[in-house]
Amino acid sequence: MTYAYLRQIPGAKNLTIQQKEVIGFALFHEIEIDREVVEHSSRNRPIGERKQFEEFMRSMKDGDTLIIDELWTLSSQVGELIEILICIMSRNVRILVAGKGVSIEKSTPIGQLLPLFERPKEETRARQSGVGRPKGSKSHSKFDSMQPVILEKLKAGESVSAISRELGVSRSSLKDYIESRSLKELVDNTFIEIGEPLQTEIIGDDMLICPFERDQKRDDLHNKNG
């Protein structure tokens, strides 16, 4: 199974740009994408609170392929990113980084991974100066938190006017937001949407190497104590 994974993060590349990169890469290399997955979450949300993302990662099996635009799509934290890569590669899942044209597999030498941890120059300058944002990104909007709901209503065929009335917001502002994020274009594609994650409980005091094995650890702990 080949998955295309996109993540909507305020201030980062919007979904349409990520989608173009991933699909363009897949077409060029004649790779057929079986399922597209999009997650909506804040940039700094810890991995332990991205429950549905964890469930998605646990669902991947030996021989699957995951295509992403860039490595930082998975997490903006270096420590979490390393854990995620360990988990994915331990399942013998291949990762294709479309923006770099790189394939990451279980046998990939660590030396080949290090350059992928370099952030784009535009983002580095923006972080250092505190001004501006990476090319292709969008400024934060009050509608970002409503985006999963907006997408669902657009998919259901509701008009912008109807959605604005239901959400109690300005129609013109909502229309501008939908157009700036190309949400109608996204609706025309088939996505498995990972919505707002739920809180997850902490299992004992263990520092887990792989955060996606939490449910198994919970079951093992319960059986041991039962």
pLDDT at 109: 78
Which residues in 22-61 are b (16+ Cβ under 10 Å) and which e?
A: bbebbeeeebebeebbbbbbeeebebbebbbbbebbbebe
Return the structure tokens found at 222.
């319960």
Predicted TM-score of the model (pTM):
0.61
Coil, strand or helix: which one is 190? coil
Kindly report, residue by residue over 76-103, the tens digit of the pLDDT.
888 888 888 888 888 889 999 998 888 9
Q: State yes or no: pLDDT of 65 exceeds 90.
A: yes
Kindly report, residue by residue over 5-33, the tens digit of the pLDDT.
998 876 677 788 888 899 999 999 999 99
Q: State yes or no: pLDDT of 126 exceeds 50.
A: no
